Structure 1
Amino acid sequence: MATTDTAVWRERGNPLVTGSGTGPLHGIRLAVKDMHAVAGHRLGAGNPAWLAEAEPQPAHSWAVGALLAAGADVTGIAQTDEFAYSLNGTNAHYGTPPNPAAPGRVPGGSSGGPAAAVALGQADAGLGSDTAGSIRVPSSYCGLYGLRPTHGAVPATGMLPLAPSFDTVAWLARDPRTLARLGDVLLPAGGGGGQRPFRTALVATDLLALGDEGVREAFGPAAAGLAERLGLKIEEVPSLGGDPGERAVAFATAQAAEVWECDGAWVSAHPGTLGPGVAARFARAAKVTPEEREAAEAVVHRSARDLIAALPDDAVLLLPAASGPAPLPDQENEHKAATRRATFRLTCLASCAGLPCLVLPRMSVDGLPVGLAVIAGRGSDRALLDLGVRSAGQDFRAVR
């Protein structure tokens, strides 16, 4: 039977891997999602059958190596949803990591292990990945700060791919300064340095409508408080172009085609080794035709162009990071599917366009955290991290 510890960690040390001993991240304890290579240790991808066949990695992933060189210690390898192909944070083999910010509820996925480790105080930061929301959703559910960077800004070398056109190295932390310190190491030097200051905060009515009633009520005060703190002018628009439902279906189809390219052969050769939710997604991925993929990618590319055109260099887009607070693990399947669908429609926006997205723990619904997501233009990652640090000068949570 899975224990709380094994639901969070696949391997844990004191530390598991020691950093350089000096550098800007000296003293930072890092939880590494089990999608990143850690030299001398196996990569498990959240699946025991995959782990059983794995050999110790010969080298660190680029991101793990960079953080170790900067002085961080790897406390351990944290659990993930199988192959990172989920947003819930549950794992049929290892159990569900706890969510101390929302006791009894899921932590969100697929970076649920790192999120739980950070929320529990067992690590200072979590290194994960984000393809369709895998850092943003657990950040929202666990009341953490998280960043999905510009696609390609951080090398994904040594990170197990899910859908390479959308995969990003990503990270989360309890406070914005730690989040920014990791960004100083991982992001390209000078990125965003020449960007104009943010002046406008866009709010799209059709995206806000994807949040449940409590999120919609909390969003207004949270967005207004953030804008006041940072000197931003809020500008409400009906839409940024395109239908959120059509965009989400297209993204899911394009993503699924790449997922099957990456892992379909292994899954086919190992029937019965996946948990039910992930197995169902792989089964759908196997059926995507070349024509369906081509049509989906056309919608994704159009959505990317629309968003980039609608987002000036001096503007950010504010939206809920998830459609609601963390759900209960035994939520009815119909309700679970509706929650995932609404959240996916929010998270796939930045993924389609490859834009950076920062999650701030700035809303509370019935005492449960919900993140406020901030999307900005390509390459503005450092400016977003600075926004996060400046936003923390006061607490303006909107409590329902």
Structure 2
Amino acid sequence: MLIDHDPYNCFMPYEPMPVASAAEGPLAGLTLAVKDIYDVAGYRSGWGCPTALAMSGVKTRNAPAVQALLDAGARFVGKVHTDELAWSMYGMNAHFGTPVNPAAPDRIPGGSSSGSAVAVAGGLADIALGSDTGGSVRAPAGFCRIWGLRPTHGRISLEDVMALSPSYDTAGIFSRDGETLLRTMSVLLADDAPLPANPRYLWPVQMMEALGPSQRAVCEAAFSGLDATPVDDLYPNGIEHAFAAYLTTMGGDAKASIVPFIRSSKMPLVRGIDGRAAAAEALTEAEIAAASETRQAIRAHVETLLGADGVVLAPVAHDAPFRLDAPFEIFDNFRHHAQKLLCLAGMTGLPQVVMPAGTVDGAPYGVSLIGPRGSDLSLIRLAVSLYAARKVAA
């Protein structure tokens, strides 16, 4: 790392190597942390995995997403932690440790972009580059009380980045405020499909029914005063049906992309990855094909509901981050409950922006907006305006 002190254990302990950036540009003055699945010249790419780190050579070029931020004037300050192989959402790495959540030190920081979120939340970087497959930008943003964006799928290059599940993998950015998020994403994206001045707000009944009273109250307060139309079939055939298709399609991708590395490298498997790798390997081509058809049907259905002007007012996850000393049953169940809400944007490839909203049981709880494909920048602008209005009203 290129900073003097890391009180939150979010940076990888690599020998500091300066990385050149432009002297001027739209991101001049901002410091940048990069998740350790992106290649950065002069550094190895560890993927949160000692075996991958040992096999990695020192990279000679930056991943395009990193280079774009450097060319815009952002100053690199180090590579940051990730869950092993980016295949979890808790931010707890058995090999390199758990970054401390600055907003709730007794809770998980969220992952797999744990280091990215913590570096920003703790003020050690102004912006951070993460990735989101099943919620790895959105969950830690919500858990650490910061802003984050999972962009429209495929709009930001993932060349020279570890692949987990390519039809779900996206880049993503963290910041402490919406204006900085917009400033940063404007470097990486064009405003391809801007929202109209008065979008249609959609209230996702199935998502809200999955929440407890405290969580729902935060959502209602965050979006109070908006004229939102209740939608009770955002997940056609129900959340469980969609979630099953998500697990199978994501697992099918992983079977072809990351599982071969797991097996060929003979890396030791920690609890969690062992089961996910085995489940992915066990999937048949027929199961993957059937789930892919379900996914395409859900995508078409949601895109029809949104049209060019629809915005879903959504929770990020079903609950605030759990305590670091939580019992095993919490660890085993939390991820699936959270991903039942998180999977919608991934299955449809739509952008989702996260902003702080409130607290549940003393821990941060975020809310989000899901918009049409290509509406990324105007979706952030909308979130900024809604957040500002709520803060003034409060």
TM-score normalised over the length of structure 1: 0.92
Decide which of 366, 369, 373 is 2:364's aligned counterpart. 369
The aligned counterpart of 1:90 is 92
Q: How does 1:91-240 map to 2 (within 5 A)?
A: 91-188=93-190, 190-193=191-194, 195-224=195-224, 227=226, 233-240=227-234
Shift of 1:6: 8.2
Provide Cα deviations, 1:62-112, integer angstroms capped at 9, x if missing partner. Answer: 110000000001110001011111111111101111111112111111101
What letter is aligned with 1:223? Answer: F
Q: Distance in 2 between matches of 1:352 and 1:387?
A: 23
Which of 262, 265, 278 aligns to 1:267? It is 262
Q: Is 1:299 equivalent to 2:294 in the alignment?
A: yes
Q: Is 2:309 aligned against 1:314?
A: yes
How far apart in 1 are the matches of 2:104 and 2:390? 19
Task: Output the CA distance in 2 between the equivalents of 1:247 and 1:159.
Answer: 28
**Helix, strand or coil at the partner of 1:8:** coil
Specify the SS of the correspondent of 1:369: strand
Find the aligned partners of 1:15 and 1:272 in 2 and give their Cα distance.
28
Q: Evaluate the alpha carbon distance shift between residue 245 and residue 63 of structure 1 in structure 2; reply closer, same or farther with a 3 A threshold.
A: same
| Structure-2 separation of matches of 1:28 and 1:212 | 38
Compute the displacement of 1:334 (Å). Answer: 2.1
8 Å contact from structure 1 (residues 202, 235) kept in 2 = yes
Q: 1:78 aligns with which of 59, 74, 80?
A: 80
Q: Report which stretch shifted further, 357-366 or 318-327.
A: 357-366
Deviates more, 1:378-387 or 1:272-281: 272-281
**Aligned counterparts of 1:173 and 1:349: Cα–Cα separation in 2:** 23
Deviation digits for residues 318-346 of structure 1 (CA, Å, limit 9, x no counterpart)? 11101111111232222233322221010
**Greater CA drift, 262-271 or 377-386:** 262-271
Q: Which amino acid aligns with 1:371?
A: G
Cα distance in 2 for residues equivalent to 1:383 and 1:191: 9
Q: What is the alpha-carbon distance in structure 2 between the residues aligned to residue 5 and residue 274 of structure 1?
A: 29
Task: Report the secondary structure of 1:393's partner residue.
Answer: helix
**Percent of pairs with identical residues:** 35
Matched with 2:67 is 65
Q: Could you give the per-residue CA deviations for residues 113-164 of structure 1, whole angstroms, max 9, x where no partner exists?
A: 1001111110111101111111000001000111011011111112111111
Report if aligned partners of 2:47, 2:84 keep a CA contact under 8 Å in 1: yes
User: Structure 2 length normalisation: TM-score?
Assistant: 0.94
Aligned equivalents of 2:371 and 2:222: distance in 1? 18
Q: Is the 8 A contact 2:51 2:267 kept in 1?
A: no
1:86–1:364 Cα change, 3 Å: same
Cα distance in 2 for residues equivalent to 1:360 and 1:331:
26
> Alpha-carbon deviation of 1:366?
2.8
Compare 64-73 and 200-209 and name the one that shifted more: 200-209
Q: What is the deviation of 1:395?
A: 4.6
| SS of the residue 1:10 aligns to | coil
Task: Give the secondary structure class of the aligned counterpart of 1:39.
Answer: coil
8 Å contact from structure 2 (residues 8, 122) kept in 1: no
Question: 1:360/1:263 Cα in 2 relative to 1: closer, same or farther (>3 Å)?
Answer: same
Q: d(CA) in 1 for partners of 2:117 and 2:72?
A: 21
SS at match of 1:24: coil
Deviations 1:260-309 (A, max 9, x none): 21122221133352321122211211111111111111111111111111
- Indicate the larger mover: 270-279 or 31-40: 270-279
Question: Could you tell me whether the CA contact under 8 Å between 1:203 and 1:237 is conserved in 2?
Answer: yes
**Structure 1 residue 178, shift from structure 2 partner:** 0.9
Which position in structure 2 is the counterpart of 1:230? Answer: none
How far apart are residue 26 of structure 1 and its match? 0.7
Q: How much has 1:197 moved relative to structure 2?
A: 2.5
**Higher mean C-alpha deviation, range 251-260 or range 345-354:** 251-260
Which amino acid counterpart does residue 238 of structure 1 have in structure 2?
D
Unaligned 5+ segments in structure 2 are: none
2:82 partner amino acid: T
SS for the counterpart of 1:247 is: helix
Q: CA offset at residue 354 of structure 1?
A: 0.3
2:331 alignment partner, one of 327, 331, 336: 336
- Larger CA deviation: 327-336 vs 155-164: 327-336
CA RMSD, 1 decimal? 2.1
Distance 1:397 1:374, change over 3 A: farther
Query: Using a 3 Å threshold, how does the CA distance of structure 1 residues 392 and 398 change in structure 2: closer, same or farther?
Result: closer
Task: Report SS of the residue matched to 1:387.
Answer: helix
**Amino acid of the structure 2 residue aligned with 1:197:** A
